[in-house]
Amino acid sequence: MPSVLGGSHRCFQAVLLFLALTVLLLVGFLHRNVQLLMPLLGDPVQGLPVTNIMFLKTHKTASSTVLNILYRFVETHNLSAALPAGSNFQLGYPWLFVARYVEGAGPPRRFNVMCNHLRFNLPEVQKVMPEDTFYFSILRNPVSQLESSFIYYKNYVPAFRGVESLDAFLAAPGVYYNASKGMNNAYARNNMWFDFGFDSDAPAEESYVRARLADVERRFQLLLIAEHFDESMVLLRRRLRWQLDDVVSFRVNARSARTVTSLAPESRERAKRWCALDWRLYQHFNRSFWEQLHAELHPRALRREVALLRARRRELTALCLQDATPKNKTQITDRHLRPYQSGKAEILGYNLRPDLDNATLRTCQRLVMPELQYMAHLYSLQFPEKPPKDIRFLEE
């Protein structure tokens, strides 16, 4: 009898141990999944989406891809965009923005979204945009931004015309750069600083720099970072309370690898000194971007949201594109999807699958439509009584 009782006791202990292990495993599993669900519990789509938005479109910073995202949101949600007046394609750039550069501007009219190139001038922007407008922009490492500008604006910027390479320019910028040659030279020095409405030739004195950085912080709720584009889209989506598909995108206005120049190490350091104001701007808001992102999301939740964004991009790539590899203009079969070419840059685009139904085709066209064509398309929708924008390069 004792042996039977002993066996029962051991069996009971084994069952208790099994149940304890099961509970521990279940608690661990639930804890892990609660962590994974955290971004859903704090889902950015809770509440109404933000629809009044001013995006300061800085140059050569992946801003054309952001522009595509905003244009799509405007079109799919039947919003209004502050578009360049008449035959223009920019909002007065490189002059400081004034409200009359916008088609149809004037009291009491206000627009939902402003996102074309302009040189920031807050009092005039406020004449066009509502009081509750969300202001944001995007920055890029000034070394890479300057390299891109040199290739893209080679034949346009006086400082770049007479020099063979950016390495040669940075070795002796004073030989080629003359501020008196006009504002087009702003592309050659502190271009992002200039886009924010500041003096690109100002000395990088500490008090001046700090004051201007404070100006940006007061007005702009968010500055994205081009080198961390997907993380930027995660934070932007949460701030705007948008759906995932609202921020998923393909790269627009990107260059081919063969037209990207690798700078010598000494040139990279010279670029930081030459564009010292842009370097300070980038360093400051790169830090604040990560501070905001980490305050908003646990690293595990951030990785999860980035993974969701990238997975959706892969799905749309398979759905829309004939070939995931971007194409040069001679390889793009639909001339209306060929991007504008500038300087020595080879700007790439996409071919869509030929078997798409009408609804899918419209969705995919929006994703790959180059900047100028999309702006002209929105202009015709918004101002059907006006002559359409003339995109002459498409006839070449």
- CATH code for the domain of 282: 3.40.50.300
Q: Give yes or no: residues 138 and 268 share one domain.
A: yes
Tally of structural domains, the chain: 2
pLDDT in tens, 94-128: 999 999 999 999 888 899 999 999 999 999 999 99
User: Is 64 within the bounds of a domain?
Assistant: yes
pLDDT in tens, 28-87: 544 433 333 333 434 556 899 999 999 999 999 999 999 999 999 999 999 999 999 999
User: Is 257 within the bounds of a domain?
Assistant: yes
Averaged over 236-265, what is the pLDDT?
96
User: Is 244 within the bounds of a domain?
Assistant: yes
User: Is 315 within the bounds of a domain?
Assistant: no
Of all residues in the chain, what percent carry a pLDDT higher than 90? 84
pLDDT in tens, 146-186: 999 999 999 999 999 989 999 999 999 999 999 888 898 99
Closest Cα partner for 309 from 235, 371, 225? 235
User: Which residue range forms the structural domain that includes residue 22?
Assistant: 1-41
Q: Give yes or no: residues 135 and 182 share one domain.
A: yes
pLDDT in tens, 203-233: 999 999 999 999 999 999 999 999 999 999 9
| H runs (alpha helix) in the chain | 2-41, 63-76, 122-125, 142-152, 158-161, 166-171, 173-176, 191-195, 206-219, 229-240, 244-247, 265-274, 276-296, 299-320, 358-368, 371-382
Residue ending a domain, among 295, 321, 337, is 295
User: Is 121 within the bounds of a domain?
Assistant: yes
| Mean pLDDT over each residue of the chain, to the nearest integer | 91
How buried is 240 (Cβ within 10 angstroms: 0-12 exposed, 13-18 middle, 19+ buried)? buried
Using alpha carbons, list the distances in angstroms from residue 356 to 245, 319, 348, 352, 353.
19, 9, 22, 8, 6
Q: Give yes or no: residues 137 and 220 share one domain.
A: yes
Q: Give yes or no: residues 169 and 255 share one domain.
A: yes
Instruction: Compare 27 and 155 and report the one with higher pLDDT.
Output: 155
Q: Give yes or no: residues 185 and 218 share one domain.
A: yes
Task: pLDDT band for 7, please (50, 70, 90 cuts).
Answer: low
Residue ending a domain, among 295, 330, 361, is 295
Task: pLDDT band for 16, please (50, 70, 90 cuts).
Answer: low
